[in-house]
Amino acid sequence: MENREIPAAEPEVRSPESGPEEMTSPETERPPSPQEPKAPEEPLQAAPPAPATPSLSPQAAPAAPAKDDYHVEIERLLEKKLWEVYLALPDSLRPRFKATGEQTAAQLRSMLDRSSIKPEKVDGLIRRWLKIIPRVCRFFLRQEAKIKTDEYMELYGKKTGQDEVVL
């Protein structure tokens, strides 16, 4: 079998003056060299619409969904008194702990919009997140989950206008 090199296509570059329809290649933007014959300029045709696949450029990266005040408050509630625990985690567990904590906060935030919340479900979500911590004392885990559940239910009471939420 014969190995052939396929020349890579040059990426299209947008000029600052052109609109989204006008696409130019790097070859048309540089001045022609004396050895190259000058090609006649042709009007550029409109490019077809871009596919729905995300691009990897930092400018086109979608922004993270905006966090409302309740979401931020839930994240603060979850991270309260756990900074030392987080720093004591092995480097391999930190990203998992953080990602699961953010996922838990998002789930708790979506639960906040419901008409009724079961504290057991909130407690279960928080415990599942805290169980990532290696060699954690089950009493510490239960106590922290209970404290955070109570604070969450208090936040739920404020949001719904209830002075006291029965647990």
Let me know: does 32 contact 38? Beta carbons within 8 Å.
yes
Q: Which domain holds residue 113?
A: 69-160
50, part of any domain: no
Give 107-153 pLDDT, tens digit per residue.
999 998 888 889 999 999 999 999 999 998 899 999 999 999 999 99
37, part of any domain: no
- Structure pTM? 0.58
41, part of any domain: no
- Count how many domains the chain has: 1
33, part of any domain: no
Q: What is the mean pLDDT of the chain?
A: 74
Residue-level pLDDT at 125: 95
19, part of any domain: no
Write down the H helix ranges in the chain: 26-29, 69-79, 83-88, 94-112, 119-130, 138-160
Give 70-113 pLDDT, tens digit per residue.
889 999 999 998 989 999 999 999 999 999 999 999 999 999 88
